[in-house]
Amino acid sequence: MTENKREWFRITVTVLIVLAVAMFAAGLMLLGCGEINGEKKLEDMRTPVDENLTVVGVSQVGSESVWRTANTESIQNVFTKENGYFLIFDNARQKQENQIKALRSFISQRVDYIVFSPLTEDGWDTVLQEAKEAGIPVILIDRKVNVKDTSLYTTWIGSDFTREGRMAGTVLAKYLTRQGRQDDTIRIVVLQGTEGATATIGRTRGFREVAQQHDNWIILEQVDAEFTTAKGEEEMERLLDKYEDIDVLISQNDDMTFGALEAIDRAGKTAGTDGDIMIISFDAVKNALKLVADGVITADIECNPHQGEYAETVIERLEKGDPVAKLYFVPETVYTKNNAATALEEPED
Ligand code: AHR
């Protein structure tokens, strides 16, 4: 090899080594930050350095409704550093596969507790078995899971959705009687929430139980409107086109009711206890309660979103080795014109 060739060879090898070291360092930096295209990846997030904090992985369904936002806030308000927690929060954006991915990530990070609200009831056996084998207690909030082995979760905290559905039927019967329409033919449409979700299953079942006691109540159609305002509006518009005389709308959440009200207005009809269409809604969020106070919504069945504090109490008990119940029902009220205005005056939680 000539001196020139040796020099050229030395330079090439040096450049290659420098390039390799630079690429390796860049790779390490990306992993350390856990960022790809500016997005933090769940699996790259590390559990806290502070060993005194209890690590809680929370998988939330999504952000489809005003209720859901309040539910998320109640979680984020309690699982704070000040309260002794390190919260890893994931929004599944209405996709079960995202929830399963989040749960697996929590398991691989060896969190102390998993708190999650399942989108729908089916399909959780495998991932919950993995959590059980990793020794991580699972606390369900809001919705339930349909699993063969109920030891796969420690406890569930949420609403009695079937009771909510029954209360919707009972309050409707009361108002119809008050108007002297108890024997009239009553044509009903139902906007349902996400198919397969506990809230949808329970509210549908509870309302149907009461409806079956009234031969004059005809359920024209019940349709999935996904718990969203946009879908509520779209489906109500379609129902108004299809059926001339809708007497009652049962809307399984306030967001769908807000959308339905737009469609009712556009169809030239009036909503209200004394209007063309009587509405019974669920959730009782603030803007809906205002409509109850004004008589636009006849009754709103509360769905209590403040489940974070209950989840924290369960974790405190588990930390102390105290027993916990398998089910915890949160307290709920029915709002009508009689109590909505007073409720609105009360300070918010
Ligand atoms: O599971 C609770 C339901 O989910 C609430 O009624 C609804 O608003 C939410 O999206």
Reported as a single tens digit per residue, the pLDDT across 222-268 is 999 999 999 999 999 999 999 999 999 999 999 999 999 999 999 99
* Pair 299, 165 in one domain: yes
| Dihedral over Cα of 163, 166, 168, 172: its sign | negative
The per-residue pLDDT for 21 is 42
Beta bridge partners of 56: 87, 113
Rounded to an integer, what distance in angstroms lies between the CA atom of residue 231 and that of residue 237?
A: 10
Q: Which two tokens stand for residue 343?
A: 């409720």
* Pair 313, 211 in one domain: no
Per-residue pLDDT of 267-314, as tens digits, reads: 999 999 999 999 999 999 999 999 999 999 999 999 999 999 999 999
The per-residue pLDDT for 85 is 98
Residue 340 lies in a domain: no
Residue 80 lies in a domain: yes
Phi-psi region of 171 (alpha: psi -120 to 50; beta: other; left: phi over 0): alpha
* Pair 210, 109 in one domain: no
Residue 278 lies in a domain: yes
Determine the 3-state secondary structure of 33 from DSSP: helix
CB 253 near ligand 1, within 6 Å: yes
pTM over 0.85: yes
| Dihedral over Cα of 233, 238, 240, 246: its sign | negative
Which residue from 63, 67, 192, 285 has its CB within 8 A of the most atoms of ligand 1, so it is best to mutate?
67
* Pair 176, 147 in one domain: no
* Pair 81, 99 in one domain: yes
Indicate if the pLDDT at residue 31 is higher than 90.
no
Measured by CA distance, the residue closest to atom 10 of ligand 1 is: 65
Indicate if the pLDDT at residue 326 is higher than 70.
yes
Q: Among 111, 86, 90, which Cα is nearest to 100's?
A: 90
The per-residue pLDDT for 78 is 98
Mean pLDDT of 153-177: 98
* Pair 89, 202 in one domain: no
* Pair 177, 295 in one domain: yes
Indicate if the pLDDT at residue 20 is higher than 70.
no
Residue 273 lies in a domain: yes
CATH number of the domain that 311 lies in? 3.40.50.2300
Percent of the chain at pLDDT > 90 equals 84
DSSP secondary structure letter of residue 44? G
- CB 247 within 8 Å of CB 275: no
Which residue from 141, 142, 195, 253 has its CB within 8 A of the most atoms of ligand 1, so it is best to mutate?
253
* Pair 284, 313 in one domain: no
Residue with tokens 């929370």: 58
Q: Which residue range(s) make up the domain with 17?
A: 3-33
Rounded to an integer, what distance in angstroms lies between the CA atom of residue 164 and that of residue 126?
A: 31
Atom of ligand 1 nearest to the CA of 197: 1
CB 303 near ligand 1, within 6 Å: yes
Domain count, the chain: 3
* Pair 138, 74 in one domain: yes
Rounded to an integer, what distance in angstroms lies between the CA atom of residue 248 and that of residue 228?
A: 19
Residue 42 lies in a domain: no
Residue 135 lies in a domain: yes
Residue 24 lies in a domain: yes
The per-residue pLDDT for 131 is 98
* 199 Cα to the center of ligand 1, angstroms: 7
Indicate if the pLDDT at residue 36 is higher than 50.
no
* Pair 218, 299 in one domain: yes
Residue 321 lies in a domain: yes
